[in-house]
Amino acid sequence: MSTKLSSDQELIRSYVSGHETSLEFLIDRYKDRIFGFIISKVQDRQVAEDIFQEVFYKVVVTLKRGRYNEEGKFLPWILRISRNLVIDYFRKRKRMQTVDGGEDFNIFDFIPRDDQSIYDEMVENQIYTDVRSLIDLLPIEQKTVLVMRLYNEMSFKDIAEETGVSINTALGRMRYALINIRKRMGEENLDLKKF
């Protein structure tokens, strides 16, 4: 097998079946994009290198355990892992901020600003993107009811009239939409509660 020309899926299968070099080719294929993404967020080379290592540690563990199931979607999956680790880094950094009373000490560095921090804005944008992508994957009947209810703030009575179904059917579609979103969140390792 020519590993340079192999698809991500072929390289993953090869690695899982014991060919360690397949993972090296896979990492080499995406390392610049992943590292570039991480460093653009954290703005610190050493931190970016640490997060980069952790990303591929998580990839190895997931592949070794046979828990990877993203047929043909390796890059989005690894970017999602990277994004989650960047968010974890900012969350830890925010919690662990300490005051050093040395000569460079400036009290204004520790006073919260009125506007949203970069971290909060990044988390909010990512949640919105993740939720929209999950909604877009729903069957059209479920998606329609969910959008009418959550975004248009319509009552189930109005939704039923608008879609030409009974209230119970509208309720059922909403219920299945939420079940499908939760299931998909589990499949894609999304945990919106941690945000």
- The position carrying tokens 């971290």 is 119
Per-residue pLDDT tens digits of the chain, which is 195 residues long:
555 668 888 888 888 888 889 889 988 999 999 999 899 888 889 999 999 999 999 988 888 888 887 666 888 889 889 999 998 888 887 766 555 555 665 555 555 554 456 666 677 777 777 888 888 889 999 999 998 888 778 889 989 998 999 999 999 999 999 999 888 887 777 666 543
**Is the same domain home to 14 and 89?**
yes
Contacts of 109 (CB under 8 A, 6+ apart): none
**Is the same domain home to 138 and 62?**
no
Residue 55 lies in a domain: yes
CATH of the domain at 24: 1.10.1740.10
Please choose, from the candidates 87, 68, 64, the residue with its C-alpha nearest in 3D space to the C-alpha of residue 76: 68
Cα(186)–Cα(176) distance, integer angstroms: 15
Token pair listed for 160 = 């039923």
* Residue after which a domain boundary falls, among 65, 96, 127: 96
pLDDT of residue 106: 56
Give the domain extent around 28: 1-96
